[in-house]
Amino acid sequence: MRTGRSLARGFTLIEMLVALVILAVSSVAIYGRSGQAIAGLYSLEQRTLANWIAQDHLTKLRLRQRSLRLQSPDPASIPPVDTNGESEEIFTAGRLWSIQVNISDTELETMKRVEIEVATVSEDAGRSDPILTTVGFLGQF
């Protein structure tokens, strides 16, 4: 004959509490890691967009120089590249971006060093620290 204790099947209260604690700890760990992954993904998106914007601006500068060269029959009459810094704000990918361009001389007279800083602009804080700084060169020939 069976006793009442042996007929009861299932989990004890302690086993259920242990399972809940394990589930809670693993949920907290997963939640924390997903937050880090989202922050990393946002940072990667910002840097990728900033790189595209910087490369696009450098290409515009190169095309401007090439256009001047093609319009001028005499290469000596091409005006020198302006080494004054310029800045511009553009709206791309749903955000306002600030582009700061600094052009400096190099050892070669016909080559300029172009440094482009890209940052986001917000209504609250204004221009942020540069997300990306890229360097390229601009020929004048």
| Residue given tokens 């910002």 in the structure block | 46
| Residue 55: per-residue pLDDT | 95
Distance CA 17, CA 47 (A): 45
> From start to end of 4-128, where are the E strands?
86-92, 95-105, 111-122, 126-127
Task: Indicate the pTM of the whole model.
Answer: 0.70
Domain ranges of the chain: 12-139
For residue 58, give the nearest of 97, 119, 99, 107 by alpha carbon.
99
Fold of 12-139: Pantoate--beta-alanine Ligase; Chain: A,domain 2 (3.30.1300)
**How far is the CA of 30 from the CAs of 23, 26, 78, in angstroms?**
10, 6, 61
Which tens digits make up the pLDDT trace of 21-74? 999 998 888 888 888 888 889 889 999 999 999 999 999 988 888 888 788 777
